Homo-oligomer: A and B are copies of this chain.
Amino acid sequence: MYLERPGKIVEKKIREPSPKEGEVLVRIRSVGVCGSDIHYYQEGRIGKFVVRKPLILGHECSGEVVEVGKKVDDLKVGDRVALEPGIPCRMCEHCKSGRYNLCSKIRFMATPPIDGAFVEYVAHPADFAFKIPRKISFDEAALFEPLAVGLYAAERARIKPTDKVLILGAGPIGLTTLQAVRCMRGVEVSVIDLYEFRLAKAKELGADEVINPKEEDIWKKLSSSFDVVFETAGSAVTVKQTVKLAKEGGRVILVGLPGEDEIALDTKQIVFKELDVLGMHRYANMYPRAVKLTQEGSINLKTLITHRFSFEETEKALKFARDNKDSCIKVIVRI
């Protein structure tokens, strides 16, 4: 399924790729719809990334190995795998020092001009294809990707027991961040969102407190400040709140990407309170723990999946996810 131009998805025949050395050929089975897919579908661009020729969207995906390239030892035909969608150059300073997510040559699915996963077959490096444990479905495994974002956010935050944590936004990323934070015991988590449906999910997934600013004045409700504040909503309002809600020595993790070019921030608070305000770009080395935590039941991805569509309905799926934030968390397309 190609995004031909903003607002227009078309089906096209494509040749089945061959796996090169070190690669596996994967028959894609489930793909999650991400906010970035919707953004490209709507606008044809995200920041400097512009869709200049037809592009296959989708990067949260899982499937089945149908062919194995040379020098692949760990995978075989029939293995069920989740694909980590960004393939770094493996040679630059960032790749060699363990922060391959910062690689400037990374080829990331569905980021132009790299094609994504709304397609039948993808050839992918075997070391970025992770075996799915038996009891995890393809649909859930596709969500290892947004889970990796949440896990990386928690990692950046250096969560420790007794931390008081606030998560701004309870969309897919807010909810995986919540679950990632919950994997460290002894933490109290509050979640803020505008949609009751999402707050209910947050409650279900272990939030100690949920707040809807449409119902309550958060400044009255929140009695004290927080050791860690995650911004996952990507709005100017919430980005501004972060530094005000963090306590002395606290950490602010900026996960969401606001549309605004600039946001008026009380930077004095960063100085006075000696905050760590930490950005994050995707994730690195998070898939193994996504697999493990989901397998042992510490993470619940199933409850995030609210709707499913067929391959033919890909465009419908994108539109649905775009238009139903009050009733849907994650939309899955089954290829």
Chain A positions within 8 Å of B, measured between CB atoms, are 22, 47, 90-102, 104, 125, 127, 151, 160-162, 182-186, 239, 248-249, 254-258, 260-281, 284-285, 288-289, 292-293, 296, 298
List 11 interface pairs A-B (beta carbons < 8 Å), by A numbering: A90-B95, A91-B125, A97-B98, A162-B288, A162-B289, A183-B184, A186-B293, A257-B272, A272-B281, A276-B277, A277-B279
A249→B183 contact, CB < 8 A: no
Known interface pairs A260-B267, A271-B281; 4 further A-B residue pairs with C-beta atoms within 8 A, sorted by A's residue number: A162-B289, A162-B292, A256-B271, A275-B278
- For the complex formed by this chain, how many copies does it contain in all? 4
Q: Chain B residues near A96 (CB, 8 Å)? A: 98, 100, 127, 284-285
- B261, A263: Cβ atoms under 8 Å? no
If the complex has contacts A186-B298, A248-B104, A289-B161, are A255 and B271 also in contact, measured as CB distance less than 8 A?
yes
Known A-B contacts A185-B293, A249-B99, A267-B258; the reply to A273 vs B278 at CB < 8 A is: no
Docked-complex contact B263 and A258, CB < 8 angstroms: no
Interchain CB contact under 8 A, B266 and A254: no
Quick one: given A94-B248, A266-B262, are A274 and B102 in contact (CB under 8 Å)? yes
Which residues on the B side are within 8 Å of A104 (C-beta)? Answer: 248
Contact of A98 among B98, B161, B266, B289 (CB under 8 A): B98
Partner of A186, one of B254, B261, B265, B289: B289
Report chain B residues within 8 Å CB of A102: 248-249, 273-274
Taking a contact as CB atoms closer than 8 A, the residue among B97, B267, B296 that contacts A285 in the complex is B97
Contact of A185 with B183 in the complex, beta carbons under 8 Å? yes
B residues in contact with A288, CB < 8 Å: 93, 162
B-chain residues with CB within 8 Å of residue A184 when the two chains form the complex: 183-185
- Is B262 in contact with A265, judged by CB distance below 8 angstroms? yes
B91, B94, B185, B256: the one contacting A249 at CB < 8 Å is: B94
What's the least CB distance linking A199 to chain B, in Å?
21
A265 in contact with B268 (CB, 8 Å): no
**Which B residue sits closest to A161, measured CB to CB?**
B289
Closest beta carbon of chain B to A320's beta carbon, Å: 27
Our pick among B255, B276, B280 for the contact of A278 (Cβ within 8 Å) is: B276
Closest CB in chain B relative to A244 CB, distance in Å: 11
CA distance A161 to B182 in the complex (A): 12
A279 to B247, CA, bound (A): 12
* 9 nearest A-B residue pairs (beta carbon): A98-B98, A270-B279, A183-B185, A185-B298, A161-B289, A91-B127, A262-B264, A277-B277, A271-B279
Selected from B98, B277, B284, the residue in CB contact (under 8 A) with A99 is B98
Are A267 and B263 in contact, CB atoms less than 8 angstroms apart?
yes
If A185-B293, A186-B183 touch, whether A268 touches B258 (CB-CB below 8 Å) is yes
**In the complex the two chains form, is B281's CB within 8 Å of A257's CB?**
no
**Smallest beta-carbon distance A146→chain B, Å:** 16
